[in-house]
């Protein structure tokens, strides 16, 4: 859309909502991140059956955030959410060493999907408040992020419990989305 047309569109219809997907294994902290971002606080969560959806405005951009359940039975439905997503936020539990390989497999499956070929990738290495958790470098290596060619990606350490790091990730995302 040209600049003039885009301004006209915004004037009459409001800002375009950008669809962002929050994906990751069960217990990674996706729902906690969703509500920490949209409500500014840590909320008590239960495993997500299906998905949660929230509108969020940040740095003059409007987002529709989709948080999809990560249990194995729900992961098979993830591709139903992919259409027109501008970015994937992959949440990894930095304490879950045993399932880092599973996160890697899911990530590379997501990235191979044609519907997400232009989507940005932000990895949140969550639960960094827990002592002895994996570092960003270990998670980056375990996920084989450098194998993702032709993909704009970033990994950021965060804690949904304290809020640390979440806005560093969102700043990276919004800077890139604003340029598109």
Q: In what order do the strands lie in the sheet with 120-126?
A: 51-58, 61-68, 17-23, 85-93, 120-126, 153-157
Choose which of 51, 69, 116, 121 interacts with ligand GTP (CB under 6 A): 69
Per partner kind, with CB cut-offs from 5 to 8 A, the member of ligand GTP, Mg ion, none near residue 169 is none
Nearest residue (CB) to ligand GTP, 70 versus 169: 70
- Does residue number 94 form part of the binding site for Mg ion (CB under 5 A)? no
The residue within the footprint of ligand GTP, chosen from 18, 21, 23, 28 (CB under 6 A), is 28
Catalytic residues: 71
Residue 71 lies near ligand GTP (rule: CB under 6 A): yes
Distance CA 141, CA 16 (A): 36
Tell me the CB-side half-sphere exposure of residue 1, using CA atoms within 13 A.
Answer: 10
25 labelled as ligand-binding? yes
Stretch touching ligand GTP by CB under 6 A, among 103-111, 112-120, 123-131, 170-178: 123-131
Based on the shown chain and the rule CB under 5 A, indicate whether residue 128 belongs to the binding site for Mg ion: no
Coil vs helix vs strand at 125: strand
Task: Compare residues 22 and 111 and give the one whose CB is closer to ligand GTP.
Answer: 22
């Amino acid at each position: 859309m040209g600049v003039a047309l885009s301004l006209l569109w915004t004037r009459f219809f409001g800002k375009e909502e950008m669809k962002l997907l929050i994906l990751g294994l069960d217990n990674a902290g996706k729902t906690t991140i969703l509500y920490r971002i949209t409500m500014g606080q840590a909320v008590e969560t239960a495993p997500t059956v299906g998905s949660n959806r929230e509108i969020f405005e940040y740095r003059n951009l409007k987002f529709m955030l989709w948080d999809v359940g990560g249990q194995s039975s729900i992961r098979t439905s993830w591709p139903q959410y992919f259409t027109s997503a501008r970015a994937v936020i992959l949440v990894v539990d930095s304490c879950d060493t045993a399932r880092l390989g599973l996160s890697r497999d899911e990530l590379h499956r997501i990235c191979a999907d044609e519907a997400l070929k232009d989507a940005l990738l932000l990895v949140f290495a969550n639960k960094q408040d827990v002592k002895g958790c994996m570092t960003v470098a270990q998670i980056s290596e375990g996920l084989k992020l450098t194998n993702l060619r032709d993909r704009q990606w970033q990994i950021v350490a965060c804690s949904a419990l304290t809020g640390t790091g979440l806005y560093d990730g969102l700043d990276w995302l919004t800077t890139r989305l604003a340029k598109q």
